[in-house]
Amino acid sequence: MAVVLIGTLDTKGQELQFVRDQIREEGLATCVVDAGVTRPPAFPPDVPREDVFKAAGITLEAVQKKGDRGDAITLAALGAAKLIRQWHAEGKVDGVLSLGGSAGTTIGTAAMRALPIGVPKIMVSTLASGQVKPYVGVRDIMMIYSVVDISGINRISRPILTNAAQAMIGMVKSMQASKTMGAAQDKPVITATMFGVTTPCVEKARELMEAKGFEMLVFHATGSGGQTMEGLIQDGLVQGVLDFTTTELADELVGGILSAGPDRLTAASLRGIPQVISVGALDMVNFGTPDSVPSQFKERRFYQHNPTVTLMRTTPEENDQLGKEIAHKASASKGPVAILLPLKGVSAIDAEGKPFWWPEADQALFDSIRLWKAPHVRLIEMEVHINDPAFAAEAVRTLLDFMK
């Protein structure tokens, strides 16, 4: 087992060596991976750049001959990610630390995103004070802003790099000390999705699942929340899914700001994980402040959730499409799957007398699911609101039945 250090040793060798030496002083093994291309490395790496590009399916000579910096970075990121994934599967990775500018950050975080949640990941980057979503994705990557460019050891970079090294040391030693104890305490994991407007439903389900000895992880359906849940399912860390709040599908369809992308609602089906799907908050599409709503929607029905969140009611036509998408994705599942329909409203503001109450729109959603689902998909319809405790109880009963 070792702490893997990834960097371009032709440009960041001195800084990476500074970090490596501190980690070694604490008795931890290191493995330095060189992802450079141009000048010779500042010191001999444990894994040479030739191996990184070979893992990406190309030779270093071919990359150098082409002379395309962008292409070299892309290939180095691909190779580093492939190697780190392989080493982790072989039990050889304690943690990953990298440092760099845009190139080093692209390469280092690509490797980090290839690792499951829980493996220590630290990226010291000149880009860490800006938009980091493309680098972090849905993984637990610690981004540390380098303040100055990573160019030598000086009064600014010295303490920052030292902090990064010490943080990695602390995380690795903590992981080593708690590994045995943590394994003994682990419970089967259930995931669920929630919005403020479906909170009572999800909280009741969590209470019931925990009483049965499960650990329930709840994800806020804000785009990144749904993506994170899908990633955990893909990693094989989840035993069952209560996907109450599929609202991110509406944002993807209509153009809201909280889309989780086209792959939302696919991971459990691909892995055959038991899942219960519902239609929580599909009455709404999310935008920011009122002036952020696209002009083509100006005649639609809106609700101001708070000063920075504007909700737009989905139409019967949109709900018809959403129902078809849910039905098709559920029908493709390799495992047991059910769809639960709350016939008296899909969110806290979709109930009789509430701002988004529109029975015809909900009916279009329900009818589309009934029409397009495959026969093996269990369909449960309840004459209750989604936040009725009975709805949560039925979802839990159904999932537990699938998991027997």
Q: 181, 202, 228: which is the final residue of a domain?
A: 181
- d(CA 23, CA 30) in angstroms, rounded, equals 7
Residue 240, both tokens:
């069952």
My answer on whether 257 and 390 are in the same domain is yes
Q: Are residues 197 and 216 in the same domain?
A: yes
The chain-wide mean pLDDT, for the chain, equals: 95
- What pLDDT shows up at residue 175? 86
Same domain, 45 and 151: yes
Tens digit of pLDDT for each residue in 32-79? 999 999 899 999 999 999 999 999 999 999 999 999 999 999 999 999
- Kindly state whether residues 81 and 111 are assigned to the same domain: yes
CA distance 36 to 100: 11
- Residue 277: name the closest of 344, 353, 185, 369 by CA: 369
Identify the domain boundary among 181, 200, 234.
Answer: 181
CATH number of the domain enclosing 20: 3.40.50.12020
Alpha carbon distance 53, 354 (integer Å) = 59
Residue 184 — pLDDT band, cuts 50, 70, 90? Answer: very low
Same domain for 119 and 171 = yes
Is the Cβ–Cβ distance between 83 and 52 less than 8 Å?
Answer: yes
Average pLDDT, stretch 18-23?
A: 97
Compute the average pLDDT of residues 206-228: 96
At residue 215, the pLDDT reads: 95
Over 60: is that where the pLDDT of 183 sits?
no
Number of domains in the chain: 2
Question: What CA–CA distance (Å, rounded) separates 375 from 335?
Answer: 14
Give the pLDDT confidence of 316-350 residue by residue, as tens digits: 999 999 999 999 999 999 999 999 999 999 999 99
64 and 21 together in one domain: yes
Site of tokens 């100006």 = 298
Q: Which residues are CB-neighbours of 101 under 8 A, at least 6 positions away?
A: 125, 126, 127, 149, 150
Q: Using 50, 70 and 90 to split pLDDT, how confident is the model at 188?
A: very high
Task: Answer yes or no: do 366 and 347 share one domain.
Answer: yes
**35 closest CA partner among 8, 53, 70:** 8
Residue 180 has a pLDDT of 53
Task: Return the percentage of the chain with pLDDT > 70, whole number.
Answer: 98
- Tell me the C-alpha distance between 19 and 97, whole Å: 9
| Whole-number Å distance between alpha carbons of 220 and 260 | 11
Residue 384 · residue 344 · CB < 8 Å: yes
Q: Do residues 392 and 257 share a domain? A: yes
Contacts of 269-273 with CB under 8 Å at 24 or more apart are 269/329, 269/330, 269/332, 269/333, 269/334, 269/335, 269/337, 270/234, 270/334, 271/233, 271/234, 271/236, 271/334, 271/335, 272/333, 272/334, 272/335, 273/233, 273/238, 273/239, 273/240, 273/241, 273/335
Q: Reply yes or no on whether the pLDDT at 178 is more than 90.
A: no
Sign of the Cα torsion 290, 295, 296, 299 reads positive
Kindly state whether residues 252 and 333 are assigned to the same domain.
Answer: yes
Q: Is the domain of 158 the same as that of 242? A: no
Domain's final residue, options 129, 162, 181: 181
Q: For residues 105 and 95, what is the distance between their CA atoms, to the nearest angstrom?
A: 16
Same domain, 349 and 298: yes
What would the mean pLDDT of 117-138 be, rounded to a whole number? 95
Helix axes 199-211, 389-402, angle to 10 degrees: 40
- % of the chain exceeding 90 in pLDDT: 95
**Two structure tokens written together for 251:** 């944002």
CA dihedral of 248, 251, 256, 261, whole degrees rounded to 10 = 70
Residues 177 and 191 in one domain: no
Instruction: Supply the range of the domain harboring residue 106.
Output: 2-181
The CATH number for 216's domain is 3.40.50.12030
